[in-house]
């Protein structure tokens, strides 16, 4: 029996993940490998997408991943992920990453990324997700910006 998918806002999806940067996560300069951060971003975004859709999800794309400030060994990394827009079977997840010096308490933005996930059924086939219903001005603005990114993404990858 198919699940009924109701409308939801992004309040059903937030994820806050915290990680400690260990020496094994860093390069010779004592800053984190970009791939480690990308892996954490993918995990947090997948949890947000799954939480929103209540389905298994697969990563389709990662957009606009920019490293703004270095993240050093011993720092704490805070990853915030939340749905920004929803299609019929896909979801865009916005992810913000901050680094914090645990000694000084100083926090800085480290990176931001947008990921697209598709919900899949038990056979690995795309399945419908709940419609997105933004509840406030911030969510509405984030959705409009996501629609612009989606159009650009589709245009860039026409085959």
pLDDT value, residue 11: 58
pLDDT value, residue 114: 94
Q: What is the pLDDT of residues 49-58, one digit of tens each?
A: 999 999 999 9
Is the Cα dihedral 84, 85, 86, 92 positive or negative? Answer: negative
- Is the pLDDT confidence value at 7 over 60? no
Alpha-carbon dihedral of residues 73, 113, 45, 124, nearest 10 degrees?
A: -130
Q: What is the pLDDT of residues 35-51, one digit of tens each?
A: 999 999 999 999 999 99
Beta-bridge partner residues of 70: none
Pair of tokens at residue 21: 């940067």
Kindly write down the DSSP assignment for every residue of 41-59, as one continuous string.
Answer: HHHHHHHHHHHHHSSEEEE
Q: What is the pLDDT of residues 82-140, one digit of tens each?
A: 999 999 999 999 999 999 999 999 999 999 999 999 999 999 999 999 999 888 888 88
**In this structure, which topology does domain 10-156 adopt according to CATH?**
Thiol Ester Dehydrase; Chain A (3.10.129)
Is the Cα dihedral 24, 29, 33, 37 positive or negative? Answer: positive
- Is the pLDDT confidence value at 3 over 50? no
* Domain extent listing, the chain: 10-156
């Amino acid at each position: 029996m198919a699940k009924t998918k109701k409308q939801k806002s992004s309040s059903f999806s937030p994820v806050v993940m915290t990680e400690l940067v260990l020496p094994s996560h860093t390069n010779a300069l004592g800053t984190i490998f970009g791939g480690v951060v990308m892996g954490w971003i993918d995990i947090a975004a997948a949890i947000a997408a799954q939480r929103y859709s209540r389905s298994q999800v697969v990563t389709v794309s990662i957009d606009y991943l920019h490293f703004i400030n270095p993240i050093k060994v011993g720092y704490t990394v805070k990853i915030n992920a939340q749905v920004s827009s929803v299609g019929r079977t896909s979801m865009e997840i916005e992810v913000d990453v901050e680094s914090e010096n645990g000694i000084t308490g100083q926090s800085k933005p480290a990176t931001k990324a947008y990921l697209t996930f598709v919900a899949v059924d038990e056979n690995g086939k795309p399945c419908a997700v709940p419609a997105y219903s933004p509840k406030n001005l911030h969510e509405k603005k984030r959705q409009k910006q996501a629609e612009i990114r989606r159009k650009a993404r589709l245009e860039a990858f026409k085959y």
